């Protein structure tokens, strides 16, 4: 299992925005990866993460818009 940087439960791992997990789930903007949930600000980040989750969770990745 790859090493991941710390990402808060309410943090969009792609852009770094704070996201309300309940809202994200309602909108279908939450997904699971390796046993934990990640939430996203919008469809763009959701899809980007889906393409290559490890790239956004890699130690050294800096979340930015
Ligand atoms: Zn985002």
DSSP string, the chain: ---B----TTB-TTT--B--HHHHHHTT-EEEETTEEEE-SSHHHHHHHHH-HHHHHBTT-----
pLDDT at 1 over 80: no
Give residue-wise pLDDT tens across range 5-59. 999 999 999 999 999 999 999 999 999 999 999 999 999 999 999 999 999 999 9
64 vs 57, residue with greater confidence: 57
pLDDT band at 3 (very low <50, low <70, confident <90, very high): confident
CA of 1 to the centre of ligand 1 (A): 25
Name the pairing type of β-strands 36-39 and 30-33: antiparallel
Q: Show Cβ contacts of residue 8 under 8 Å, excluding neighbours closer than 6 positions.
A: 18
CA of 29 to the centre of ligand 1 (A): 10
């Amino acid at each position: 299992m790859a090493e991941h940087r710390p990402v808060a439960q309410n943090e969009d791992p792609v852009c770094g925005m704070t996201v309300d997990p309940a809202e994200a789930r309602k909108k279908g903007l939450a997904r699971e990866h390796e046993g934990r949930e990640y939430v996203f600000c919008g469809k763009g980040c959701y899809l980007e993460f889906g393409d290559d989750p490890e790239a956004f969770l890699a130690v050294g990745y800096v979340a930015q818009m």
